[in-house]
Structure 1
Amino acid sequence: MNILLVCANGASTGVLVEKMKTFCKEHEKLRTKEIKIEATSVDNLRVYFESNKVDVVLIGPQIRFKEDEIKNISKPYTELVQVINTQDYGRMDAVAVMKTAIKLYRNR
């Protein structure tokens, strides 16, 4: 599963991405799965899609107003796009955000 977090400039999600990666390495069931987690800015989204496979796109809540734009850009690549819960993002709750990504992926 390839997860992409999108925010205004790609930096604010960096901490969350690292926490999610750590969680995956430590979680027995996820450790054996191929999971790629990265972040990019909304301005770089088209370029990112050109050279990367993406299954799930999670949007930083600070740019939720760009959700429709991000869904339109993502549509040729994936329909699995959702805004990250504000509380989960604020707490940098990697477990909750991973659960969101997994749920989206499983329910496709």
Structure 2
Amino acid sequence: MRKIIMLVCAAGMSTSLMVSKMQKAAEAKGIDAEIFAISASEADSYLEEKKVDVLLLGPQVRFMKDKFEEKVVPLGIALDVIKMTDYGMMNGEKVLEHAMSLMND
């Protein structure tokens, strides 16, 4: 079953590199995942239109976690903040593993 992982960051730019690293890791592990990044300002309208399995916040928007929690928890969407070290190292494999572990809880 395809997993849909949404990354949210300030502008959607630096996170696009993370998306490609995560997609490579998913392919290598045989995981069927749709991974994409959008800006925090676009996230609300996107969540209304699309079913998402997990939402990961970039470290630069970690302060928005409570705001997103109110929206996504009732929808059954897992939420967390990407670890600063994994984001800084652009470790797509670690971030993908984290996303998958949130969905398996």
Common fold: TM-score over 0.5: yes
2:17 equivalent in structure 1? 15
2:64 equivalent in structure 1? 66
Aligned with 1:75: secondary structure? Answer: helix
Contact map agreement 1:88 1:97 (CA 8 A) in 2:
yes
Aligned with 2:35: secondary structure? Answer: strand
1:94 equivalent in structure 2? 92
**1:2-21 deviation line (CA, Å, top 9, x unaligned):** 11000011112100001111
Query: How far apart are the structure 1 equivalents of 2:6 and 2:75?
Result: 12
Residue 43 of structure 1 is aligned with which of 24, 41, 48?
A: 41
**1:1-41 deviation line (CA, Å, top 9, x unaligned):** 111000011112100001111111122xxx2x431111111
Contact map agreement 2:52 2:77 (CA 8 A) in 1:
no
* Number of residue-to-residue matches in the alignment: 103
Moved over 4 A (4+): none
Query: How far apart are the structure 1 equivalents of 2:100 and 2:77?
Result: 14
Paired letter, 1:7: C
Structure 2, unaligned runs of 5 or more: none
Aligned with 2:75: secondary structure? Answer: coil
Normalising by structure 2, we get a TM-score of 0.90
Structure 1, unaligned runs of 5 or more: none
Paired letter, 1:46: D
For the aligned residue pairs, the C-alpha RMSD in angstroms reads 1.3
Equivalent residue runs for 1:18-37 within 5 Å: 18-27=20-29, 31=30, 33-37=31-35
1:90, CA displacement in angstroms? 0.3
1:55, CA displacement in angstroms? 0.6
Paired letter, 1:4: M
Query: How far apart are the structure 2 equivalents of 1:12 and 1:76?
Result: 29
